[in-house]
Structure 1
Amino acid sequence: MKRYLCIMRKPAHSGNSVQEMLDIVLTAAAFDQPVSILLLDDAVFHLKHGQSPEKLALKDTAAIFKALEIYDVTEIHIEQESLQERGLKTTDLCLPVRLVARNAVAGLVKQFDVIFAG
């Protein structure tokens, strides 16, 4: 069985690439493939508490992330420096995450067989 990693860099509501990446995650997980997510750069905002995208008629991607547990997608990694650079802490997030230092990202990525980046 191959291990999948989906790397996201873009913030929520930044176009179709975010939804496409979440579709990849859900599709792979639906076929019982182990899938993990790595959030880098502005993608850390996906999990920020208190978002109200419906006020702007946008899809609530944080709700989609919360539903990932149903598909056994429970490994969500966040680059620690990306979080800090945006003034966020893990307590600002709506899901538990695994912090990974910037200098350890390459090692994390090497643990997976299939990488999707968007």
Structure 2
Amino acid sequence: MAKSMLIISRQGPWSGPSAREALDIALAGGAFDLELAVLFLDDGVFQLAGAQQPAALEQKDLTANLQALPLFGVDQLFACQSSLALRGIDATRLTLPIDVLEDAALRALINLYDHVVTL
């Protein structure tokens, strides 16, 4: 019986290694045909904002990793509506096609998965 995993990414793209690690876990799991989804929550929604300039912070751009997710079978991508709203991010201008969920739907989403990893 196949197991499923939800990865909750709560850190901004430049606040430490957690954002990159969440994407690495998703890409690795996708390579092994694990049923995966990624939820961007809290500052994690900043990963989805366009026009980032990582070179100014001497960081690597996460955009290529994000865009590779569907290629690795990770096509269930979600973002928290209230996290986007609190940070002034317009859901129609995200860099990837994302399902935006209200708080009540987040609880239901989390309950669908066998394993939940939060970074």
* Secondary structure of the structure 2 residue equivalent to 1:36: strand
**What percentage of aligned pairs have identical amino acids?**
36
**Structure 2: how far apart are the matches of 1:102 and 1:15?**
26
Are 1:11 and 1:44, in contact at CA under 8 Å, matched by a contact in 2?
Answer: yes
Which amino acid in structure 2 is aligned with residue 20 of structure 1?
A: E
Deviation at 1:85, TM superposition (A): 1.0
Q: Secondary structure at the match of 1:18?
A: helix
Match of 2:105 in 1: 104
| Structural mapping, 1:66-81, within 5 Å | 66-81=67-82
Shift of 1:60: 0.8
d(CA) in 2 for partners of 1:16, 1:87: 24
1:18 alignment partner in structure 2: 19
The residue that corresponds to 1:52 in the other structure is 53
TM-score where L is the length of structure 2: 0.93
* Structure 1, 83-92 or 3-12: larger mean CA deviation: 83-92
State the aligned residue count: 118
Matched-pair contact (CA < 8 Å) for 1:13–1:59: no
Structure 1 distance, partners of 2:106, 2:29, is: 22
Matched residue type, 1:64: N
In 1, Cα distance between the equivalents of 2:108 and 2:60? 33
